[in-house]
Amino acid sequence: MTAPSFRAPVVDVEGLRARVEAALPALRTDLEDLVRIPSVSAAAFDRAHLDASAARVADLLRGAGFDDVEVLSVDVPAGPGSEGAVDGVVRGAPAVVARRPAPDGAPTVLLYAHHDVQPPGDPALWDSPAFEPVERAGRLYGRGAADDKAGIAVHLAALRALGDDLPVGVTVFVEGEEEIGSPTFEAFLAAHRDRLAADVIVVADSTNWRVGEPALTSSLRGLVDGVVEVRTLDHAIHSGMYGGAVVDAMTATLRLLAGLWDENGDVAVPGLVSGGADDLGYSDDALRADAGVLDGVALVGTGSLETRLWTRPAITVTGIDAPSVATASNTLLPAVRAKFTMRIAPGQDPAQAFAALEKHLLAAAPWGAHVTVTLGEAGHPWAGDLGNDVYDTARWALEQAWGRAPVHMGVGGSIPFIAALGEVYPDATVLVTGVEDPDTRAHGTNESLHLAEFARACVAETLLLAALGAR
């Protein structure tokens, strides 16, 4: 929590809270307008919606008093497996950058969010259309209502509430490709390094511990994904004539993949880093409810839930190329491909993690099957520097907004660009704040934003900017 030497900033808390409350109705309308734009960044979707979303965000920032607003993108050479590449080039998605200079002696704060969203998935699984915002029981439903168009709206709330009294310099950076792994992010940073430079970076793209319980994200796992291919034959053959003596690729693949975990469900790959985490009292029952685990299905792994979810490796098989049940024949398959996603703990280098996984899979190839492992995306983990005065100020702002002190929580997901920000701006303090809660269902159907939590997040960021200017 805050250091004993921390002194609360001289800020008109109640006055700013009232300003935010007055701004909320118009802000809600603007957020709903953003949700209606289906700004999916995946290559299979219409880029025109991304362009429309970026243009709308730029207009909103101009309306918040920013004269210097640009929509920018950077193209990069395509790498192996790059999606959406044309003529060997990956075209960067539109990002919005708005700048307002700092008063003399004041710090500059970079406010980050992203305007792209995940694909909606099966429309039949949504209780209301994915891109038509609907309020039910105090929650606003719609794709991007939380992840991360609410992050954009939180930034707008603070800027509108402070208005001409904004005591710090602000650069707003709203990215357009976070949901596809930010493929041009590092090139964008290199091209616009000076434009995005800041003393404090606020990333509004995480979660709170519970409804009514704020959090600062203290760590994020990194990401390594790729494809493992298993081959046993040079062509498909009759399962009745050869089964029992000849191994098929599917059987070999299942045997190989099963060896990624031990009998407890812990990852069984040597050479991967594990760490510890604060015990926040996360119970098995709470996790089962949050995740929707079916009755009778056990939780896996050993150690506290906090460490299992935040600071230890996890491997998931997310797809297998194989015939469907409906189209399968009595055939021994010659080759099978499986896609894996591995989350890695803070302190783990992604290249070393991939090398450890590849070594393990090659050594475990069953019955002499031919195994190849191809790297896809790799992203670094991150851990925050919780002991400095910027974090003290953030904790103070969250406590004022929620009426209780925040917890420090890790997040098992990955935001690889945060580590990149830390490398490019090593003297900046990065804060990862939350607009979500455990029932948000980001990336899933029926994604939603808890409106009361959203209002508190708006107050907290307003107080944070005011307090940073008063330091």
Residue 292 tokens, joined? 């929707």
Catalytic residue among 116, 225, 399, 447: 116
Residue 172 tokens, joined? 């707003």
Catalytic residue among 32, 178, 199, 205: 178
8 A C-beta contact, residue 315 and residue 229: no
Active site residue 295: no
What is the distance in angstroms between the CA of the first residue and the CA of the last residue of the chain? Answer: 18
8 A C-beta contact, residue 233 and residue 437: no
What distance separates the 2 farthest-apart alpha carbons in the chain?
83
Q: Which residues contact 104 (CB under 8 A, 6 or more apart)?
A: none
Q: Are strands 108-114 and 169-175 parallel, antiparallel or unpaired?
A: parallel
Active site residue 178: yes
- What is the C-alpha separation between 29 and 442, in angstroms, rounded? 21
Concatenated DSSP letters for 35-103?
Answer: HTS--B-STTS-HHHHHHHHHHHHHHHHHTT-SEEEEE---EE--TT-TT-BTTEEPPPPEEEEEEPPP
Residue 344 tokens, joined? 């890695």
Which helix (DSSP H) or strand (DSSP E) does residue 317 occupy? strand 314-321
- What is the C-alpha separation between 336 and 277, in angstroms, rounded? 38
Which helix (DSSP H) or strand (DSSP E) does residue 221 occupy? none
Catalytic residue IDs: 116, 178
